[in-house]
């Protein structure tokens, strides 16, 4: 599951949430007002290569399953959690220029942790069977953030065939943890001609964890009030933008594309950095036998080893260096064919007169930039508007998390009040422990259609 992939809401032209994944989407409403804190809620989690059932199923040897998982996964397998909450959302159509303006505030939590393959093998198996094999510290890669985002977007019709949009964003960082650019390795070399048959080396080590916003929470025992304050105004801010568009080839075929979250956050306040760096080589402990009877003291070998290690690989936990994090940029693209009943009829009053059909089928491509490259997905969908009150969308998504991800969106509107519910991986609901991903999205809002 790509945690931020909103394939069930993408291209759904009568839901305002589609503007967050494509500010240039073709939309069919004139105004929307989200119910505060309830207009858009999404929760998702997933892992590549492993499920809860793979480890904790009944029967068998759990230690064997853990070992199998450690050697099966690699350092590109990831564990992902994402949560979004729309705090405020509203939009309106300007009747003079037909532009649609939308704005709001949402909170987001995003966590990605890559599987530290080499470190896991070293911790579980030790180094006895891996002589002359380096264990890379770069396998440790974690990024986590809690932010709030103020945004304002414009959706503009350029012609009957082309609609474009853009959205400006102001990021407020609440908490950030980032450890993604680690270097160096540990290796045990065979040295038959040395003072010991084995030599242990830490080479070019540079392991860093940057944090912002975390220190005041841990040191001051701050509560929800401080988090709420930072969600409104934070000392660590950033800027970004979204762009997108929709092109209509003819009455039945359209194409869309968007780039979301091109931006960065600049962390300058409430900082704490942790760092281990340096080089260290040891051939083991050379035993000495002091003359205890004549008053010579015993040698504290372990303390000497520890002091020597700390001198060569110093641990720093009071640094306050500023740093910058880039937002996980997302790319969407789709091709859509509409057919069946024309929802506009003979009226050009909605969607700038572009034909809207009751049934739509299409393909959507998605990609998100992560610390170790782009995670991608491809989705095929069938979107059906049954009547003025009821709409469904069914998707099949193939990605690194699953090859059998079936999703379903249900949206209903009574008068102006809209409720929608979208969920992925419905085939796994009989036993969620076997699922490598799961997500749910829902919301309540007022949507005003053209009169």
Whether the pLDDT of residue 318 is over 90: the answer is: no
Rg (CA), the chain: 27
pTM, two decimal places: 0.89
Tokens standing for residue 310: 């700390």
Tokens standing for residue 14: 């009568």
Q: Can you tell me the mean pLDDT for 33-47?
A: 94
Lowest mean pLDDT among 225-229, 276-280, 407-411: 225-229
> What's the pLDDT tens digit per position in 385-396?
999 899 999 999
Q: What is the pLDDT, as a whole number, of residue 243?
A: 98
Average pLDDT of the chain to the nearest whole number:
89
Whether the pLDDT of residue 195 is over 80: the answer is: no
> 377 with 392: CB under 8 angstroms?
no
> What's the pLDDT tens digit per position in 261-305?
999 999 999 999 999 999 998 886 555 555 555 555 555 667 777
Q: What is the pLDDT, as a whole number, of residue 177?
A: 97
Whether the pLDDT of residue 59 is over 90: the answer is: no
> CA 139 to CA 28: how far, in whole Å?
47
> CA 216 to CA 154: how far, in whole Å?
37
Q: What is the pLDDT, as a whole number, of residue 219?
A: 65
The set of long-range contacts for 119-128, using a CB threshold of 8 Å and a minimum separation of 24, is 120/70, 121/70, 121/71, 122/186, 124/66, 124/67, 124/70, 127/186, 127/188
Helix axes 62-72, 117-125, angle to 10 degrees: 140
> CA 114 to CA 385: how far, in whole Å?
40
Q: What is the pLDDT, as a whole number, of residue 75?
A: 92
Asked whether the CA dihedral 205, 211, 216, 217 is positive or negative, the reply is negative
Identify the residue whose tokens are 């230690």. Answer: 63
Q: What is the pLDDT, as a whole number, of residue 299?
A: 54
Whether the pLDDT of residue 230 is over 50: the answer is: yes
Characterize the bridge pairing of strands 198-212 and 78-93: unpaired
Confidence of residue 422 (pLDDT cuts 50, 70, 90): very high
> What's the pLDDT tens digit per position in 198-216?
888 999 999 999 999 988 7
Tokens standing for residue 244: 């997108």
| DSSP bridge pairs for 429 | none
CB neighbour burial string for 399-423, b if at least 16 within 10 angstroms, e if fewer: bbbbeebebebebebeeeebebebb
pLDDT over 70 for what percent of the chain? 90
Length of the chain: 451
> CA 410 to CA 124: how far, in whole Å?
46
């Amino acid at each position: 599951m790509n945690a931020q992939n909103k394939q069930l809401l993408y291209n759904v032209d009568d839901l305002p949430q589609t503007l967050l994944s494509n500010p240039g989407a073709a939309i069919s409403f004139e105004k929307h007002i989200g119910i505060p804190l309830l207009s858009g809620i999404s929760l998702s989690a997933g892992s590549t290569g492993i499920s809860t059932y793979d480890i904790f199923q009944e029967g068998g040897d759990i230690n064997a399953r853990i070992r199998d998982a450690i050697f099966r996964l690699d350092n590109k397998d990831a564990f992902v959690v994402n949560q979004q909450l729309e705090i405020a959302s509203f939009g309106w159509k300007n009747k003079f220029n037909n532009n649609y303006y939308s704005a709001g505030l949402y909170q987001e939590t995003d966590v990605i942790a890559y599987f530290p393959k080499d470190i896991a093998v070293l911790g579980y198996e030790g180094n006895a069977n891996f002589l002359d094999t380096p264990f890379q510290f770069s396998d440790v890669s974690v990024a986590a953030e809690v932010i709030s985002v103020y945004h304002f977007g414009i959706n503009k019709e350029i012609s009957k065939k082309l609609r474009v949009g853009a959205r400006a964003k102001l990021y407020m960082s609440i908490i950030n943890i980032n450890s993604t650019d680690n270097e160096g390795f540990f290796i045990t070399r065979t040295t038959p001609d040395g003072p010991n048959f084995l030599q242990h080396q830490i080479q070019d080590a540079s392991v860093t964890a940057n944090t912002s916003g975390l220190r005041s929470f841990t040191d001051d025992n701050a509560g929800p009030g401080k988090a709420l304050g930072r969600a409104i105004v934070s000392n660590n801010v950033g800027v970004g933008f979204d762009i997108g568009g929709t092109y209509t080839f003819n009455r039945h075929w359209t194409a869309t594309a968007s780039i979301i979250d091109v931006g960065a956050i600049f962390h300058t306040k409430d900082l704490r950095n942790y760092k281990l760096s340096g080089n260290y080589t040891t051939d083991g402990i050379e035993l000495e036998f002091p003359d205890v009877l004549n008053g010579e003291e015993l040698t504290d070998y372990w303390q000497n080893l520890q002091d020597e290690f700390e001198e060569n690989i110093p641990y720093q936990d009071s640094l306050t260096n500023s740093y910058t994090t880039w937002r996980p940029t997302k790319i969407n693209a789709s091709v859509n064919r509409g057919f069946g009943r024309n929802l506009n009829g003979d009226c050009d009053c909605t969607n700038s007169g572009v034909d809207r059909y009751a049934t739509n089928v299409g393909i959507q491509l998605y990609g998100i930039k992560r610390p170790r490259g782009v995670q991608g997905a491809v989705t095929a969908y069938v979107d059906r508007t049954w009547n003025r009150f009821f709409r469904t969308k069914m998707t099949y998504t193939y990605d690194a998390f699953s090859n059998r991800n079936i999703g379903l969106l249900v949206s209903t509107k009574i008068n102006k009040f809209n409720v929608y519910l979208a969920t992925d991986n419905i085939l796994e609901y009989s036993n969620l422990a076997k699922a490598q991903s799961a997500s749910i999205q829902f919301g309540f809002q007022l949507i005003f259609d053209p009169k």
